[in-house]
Amino acid sequence: MEESCEKKLKRTAKRLGLKAEQIPRHIAIIMDGNGRWAQRRALPRVKGHREGAKTAEKIALRCVKFGIECLTLYSFSAENWKRPKAEVDFLMYLYSQYLVGIRPKLLRNNVKLIHLGRLAHLPSEVKTELVRTMKVTAGNTGMVFALALNYSGRGEIIDATKKIAQKYKKGTVRLKDIDEGCISRHLYTSGLREPDLLIRTANEKRISNFLLWQISYSEFYVTRTLWPDFARADLEKAILSYAKRARRFGDIK
């Protein structure tokens, strides 16, 4: 029988000397530093992206073992299309291969893959493998793995606003129905809890148009570690840092 996230989380908390409520249930990561990792080793940037993909898989599986309920990875932003065509083409090839390769591991570990972003603008081969992986993992009940691919925080809010406006026009949503809950239900992340912890690698201190609505009360953790070098120890440091925070959500208690 598959062990629940709650049981895994309690075991992780005990191992780290924490209480279960001190462990973040939803971790979001801005993965930065693939190019710099490669440049420091006099390697092509694409080598850094390949290593970064391996790290993404390792960290996702580590989060499963830790009992994390949801992991969101900022993989490719809508702004990343501005990069050199050769690099973008390689990334799209890498995504299609990654989505095929990780599928058996997601199934074996009861992980559900979801997509955050605009699906229509992705290349057909990436779209095909992404949809296929989401379909075969849709029934999984363990950790949710949210892949932000062709994602824009502002674009997400625009898309949500359009959906609400269409419902208002049809008369299925009234003006008084439009509140924070209504907007949240129309975002790509509908049904997910908001991130408790946002990690950014490579010592960058920007939000970069990521989950603008959802991270209003997330705790931030920035590390100098480049993404391909991010390992279990780095993840545990981030969790331990989070455990020391007093999350008051505007209150003084």
Which domains, ranges and CATH numbers included, belong to the chain?
A: 14-240 (3.40.1180.10)
159 is catalytic: no
First to last CA, the chain: 40
203 is catalytic: no
- Cβ neighbors of 224 (< 8 A, separation 6 or more) are 202, 203
What does each of the 253 residues of the chain score in pLDDT, given as a tens digit?
678 999 999 999 999 999 999 999 999 999 999 999 999 999 999 999 999 999 999 999 999 999 999 999 999 999 999 999 999 999 999 999 999 999 999 999 999 999 999 999 999 999 999 999 999 999 999 999 999 999 999 999 999 999 999 999 999 999 999 999 999 999 999 999 999 999 999 999 999 999 999 999 999 999 999 999 999 999 999 999 999 998 766 666 6
Give pLDDT, residue 246.
80
- Cβ neighbors of 176 (< 8 A, separation 6 or more) are none
The CB density around residue 250, as the number of other CB atoms within 10 Å, is: 5
Q: Exactly one of 80, 109, 140, 209 is catalytic; which is it?
A: 80
Record the pTM: 0.95
Report the distance separating Cα 10 and Cα 167, nearest Å. 42
Tokens encoding 146: 């949210």
Tokens encoding 227: 């993404």
Report the distance separating Cα 169 and Cα 166, nearest Å. 5
Give pLDDT, residue 3.
86
